[in-house]
Amino acid sequence: MAGHSKWANIKHRKAKQDAQKGKIFTKLGKELIVAVKQGGGDPEANPRLKAVIQKCREANMPMDNINRTIAKATGELAGVNYEEIVYEGYGPGGVAVLLNVTTDNRNRTAGEIRHLFSKHGGNLGESGCVAWMFENKGLITLNKEEVTMDGDDLMLLVLDAGAEDMKEEDDMIEIITAPEDLHKVKEVLTAQGLKPEVAELTMLPKSTVAVQGDEAVKMMKLMDLLEDHDDVQAVYANFEISDEQMEMIG
């Protein structure tokens, strides 16, 4: 079980649970602000903002909340000044971990993230220590049971739409795109009546590290805690865990 695709689906399910608690709105609000700061408040001219708005809608965030947050980011309303930081480190077994963080207090957040790493068998590293192990890509996953189209036809469809690769893994179909082609490929799939479980910009590992036993348990615990941290927007890692091991972890 490669970490990137299965973890993407685990995160998707967690996000639905967080949305019910309202927690996901806080993270999405920060993501909206950073996207606007980087590329402006017009989603048609800012692909990152357009993607975040889509995530907000999928999480059932009211449009009033979205518009108000964008207004804060553009300076139309008073708001908190957030900065985006990338943290890099190693988990149990030498797993590479990359974090996208949005915070209004860099020192507080760095201390909390360092504590989580050290408490669960890892360590926070220097800038650049693991970033080279990942590539910026678009990731789309489909539930294989919901796909009625023949596999070869689906492959031709997504490749014609601009996808770079498609492969089957367990009960999923995974489609990889260049970042700029993610939405185009997703729209083509949607037009065919296919609803992606995940459609997001991500950092995919170039290679993976297998973990098992106690290391696997610690790795999943660390990923959970990092994901749950209020300032962490995204967690990427290059671990690989067998399905049998995952069932044991629960």
For the chain, how many structural domains are there in total? 3
From 52, 74, 96, the end of a domain falls on 74
Give residue-wise pLDDT tens across range 78-122: 566 778 899 999 999 999 999 999 888 899 999 999 999 999 999
pLDDT-derived band of residue 2, with 50, 70 and 90 as boundaries?
Answer: very low
Tell me if 59 is assigned to some domain: yes
Give residue-wise pLDDT tens across range 54-90: 888 888 888 988 998 888 887 765 566 778 899 999 9
Residues 49 and 94 in one domain: no
Q: What is the mean pLDDT of residues 36-60?
A: 87
Residues 54 and 177 in one domain: no
Quick check: 158 pLDDT over 90? yes
The domain that holds 180 is classified in CATH as 3.30.70.980
Residues 148 and 187 in one domain: yes
Residues 70 and 98 in one domain: no
Residues 201 and 159 in one domain: yes
**pLDDT score at 20:** 52
Residues 107 and 220 in one domain: yes
Q: What is the mean pLDDT of residues 226-232?
A: 87
From 29, 55, 74, the end of a domain falls on 74
Residues 128 and 241 in one domain: yes
The percentage of residues in the chain with a pLDDT greater than 90, rounded to a whole number, is 40
Least confident of 10-19, 26-35, 52-61, 127-136: 10-19
Residues 210 and 126 in one domain: yes
Tell me if 79 is assigned to some domain: no
How is the chain classified by DSSP, letter by letter? -BHHHHHHHHHHHHHHHHHHHTHHHHHHHHHHHHHHHHH-S-TTT-HHHHHHHHHHHHTT--HHHHHHHHHHHHTSS-----EEEEEEEE-GGG-EEEEEEEES-HHHHHHHHHHHHHHTT-EE--TTSSGGGEEEEEEEEEEGGG--S-HHHHHHHHHHHTEEEEEEETTEEEEEE-GGGHHHHHHHHHHTT---SEEEEEEEESS-EE--HHHHHHHHHHHHHHHHSTTEEEEEE-EE--HHHHHHH-
